[in-house]
Chain A
Amino acid sequence: MAKKANQSIKLPLIDQEALSLLEKLSNAVGVSGSEGEIRTIIKQELESCSDQISVDTLGNLIAVRHATVKNAPRVMIAAHMDEVGFMLVDKDEDGIFKFQKVGGIDDRALAGKAVQVGKNHAPGVIGACPVHLSTPAEREVIMKSDSLRIDTGPGSKDLEVGDYGSFATKFHQLGSSLCGKALDNRIGVATLIQLFKNAPDSIELIAAFTVQEEVGLRGAETSAFNLMPDFAFVIDCTPANDQQAWDKSENTLYRTRLGHGPAIYTQDSRTLYDRRLIKFVTGLAQEHGIKVQLRQPASGGTDAGAIHLTQHGIPTLSISVPGRYAHTAAMVIRKSDWEDYLQLMTIVLQNINSEILTEERP
Chain B
Amino acid sequence: MKKLLEELTQTSGISGEEKEIRALIRKEIEPYADEITVDVMGNLIARKGKKKVGGKRLMISAHMDEIGLMASHIDERGFVYVAAIGGVSPLTCFGARVRFTNGTEGVIYAETSKMEKVPTIAQLFIDVGATSAEDCPVKVGDTAVFVRPFLDLGNRMVSKAMDDRIGCLVAIETLKSIKKSPNEIYFVFSTQEEVGIRGARTSAYAIDPEVGIAVDVTLSADTPHGDQGNPVLGGGPCIKVRDGSLIAHPKVIAAMKKAGKNAGVETQMEVLRFAGTDAGAIQLVRSGVPAGCLSIACRYVHSPSEMVDLKDVKDAILLLTDLASKPIELSLDGIEG
> How many angstroms from the CA of A308 to the CA of B205 in the assembled complex?
13
Q: For window 286-312 of chain A, which residues contact chain B by CB distance below 8 Å?
A: 294, 296-298, 308-312
Q: Kindly report which residue of chain B lies nearest to residue A272, judged by CB atoms.
A: B16
Which of B39, B141, B205, B206 counts the most A-chain CB atoms under 10 A from its CB? B141
- Chain A contacts of B218 at CB under 8 A? none
Q: A250-B76, A294-B141, A296-B72 are in contact. Are A267 and B202 (CB under 8 A)?
A: no
- Chain A contacts of B81 at CB under 8 A? 252-253
B41 at the A/B interface (Cβ < 8 Å)? yes
B47 at the A/B interface (Cβ < 8 Å)? no
Q: Is the CB of A312 within 8 A of B205?
A: yes
Pick the interface stretch among B51-59, B190-198, B209-217: B190-198
Q: Is the CB of A267 within 8 A of B85?
A: yes
A50 at the A/B interface (Cβ < 8 Å)? no
> How many angstroms from the CA of A275 to the CA of B14 in the assembled complex?
13
> How many angstroms from the CA of A191 to the CA of B214 in the assembled complex?
43
Q: Return the contact of A311 from the options B75, B140, B202 (Cβ within 8 A).
A: B202
Q: Return the contact of A313 from the options B19, B41, B76, B141 (Cβ within 8 A).
A: B41
A136 at the A/B interface (Cβ < 8 Å)? no
B7 at the A/B interface (Cβ < 8 Å)? no
Q: For window 258-302 of chain A, which residues contact chain B by CB distance below 8 Å?
A: 266-267, 270, 272-273, 275, 278, 294, 296-298
> How many angstroms from the CA of A254 to the CA of B74 in the assembled complex?
12
Q: A309-B202, A362-B19 are in contact. Are A253 and B38 (CB under 8 A)?
A: no
B63 at the A/B interface (Cβ < 8 Å)? no
Q: Return the contact of B141 from the options A266, A314, A357 (Cβ within 8 A).
A: A266
Q: Is the CB of A361 within 8 A of B122?
A: no
> How many angstroms from the CA of A253 to the CA of B123 in the assembled complex?
10
Q: How many residues of B contact A (CB 8 A)?
A: 30
Q: A296-B140, A297-B70 are in contact. Are A313 and B40 (CB under 8 A)?
A: yes
B90 at the A/B interface (Cβ < 8 Å)? no
- Chain B contacts of A273 at CB under 8 A? 16
Q: Mark B36-76, 1 if CB is under 8 A from A, else 0.
A: 00111110000000000000000000000000001111011
**Interface SS of chain A:** loop
> How many angstroms from the CA of A314 to the CA of B206 in the assembled complex?
12
Q: Return the contact of B72 from the options A250, A298, A357, A361 (Cβ within 8 A).
A: A298
Which of A254, A275, A278, A297 counts the most B-chain CB atoms under 10 A from its CB? A297
Q: Is the CB of A361 within 8 A of B201?
A: no
- Chain B contacts of A314 at CB under 8 A? 40
Q: Is the CB of A252 within 8 A of B15?
A: no
B266 at the A/B interface (Cβ < 8 Å)? no
Q: Is the CB of B19 within 8 A of A250?
A: no
B279 at the A/B interface (Cβ < 8 Å)? no
Given A266-B140, A309-B201, A315-B40, 11 additional A-B pairs, CB 8 A: A250-B75, A252-B73, A252-B81, A253-B81, A253-B122, A294-B140, A296-B72, A297-B70, A311-B206, A313-B39, A360-B38
In the assembled complex, 18 residue pairs joining A and B whose CB atoms fall closer than 8 Å, in A order, are A250-B76, A252-B75, A252-B122, A253-B73, A266-B140, A267-B16, A272-B195, A272-B198, A273-B16, A278-B141, A297-B83, A312-B39, A312-B206, A313-B41, A313-B202, A314-B40, A360-B19, A361-B38
Chain B residues engaging chain A, CB cutoff 8 angstroms = 15-17, 19, 38-42, 70-73, 75-76, 81, 83, 85, 122, 140-141, 192, 195-196, 198, 201-203, 205-206
Can you list the 8 inter-chain pairs with the closest CB atoms, starting with the nearest? A272-B16, A313-B40, A313-B202, A297-B83, A312-B206, A361-B42, A266-B141, A296-B72
Chain A residues engaging chain B, CB cutoff 8 angstroms = 250, 252-254, 266-267, 270, 272-273, 275, 278, 294, 296-298, 308-315, 357, 360-362
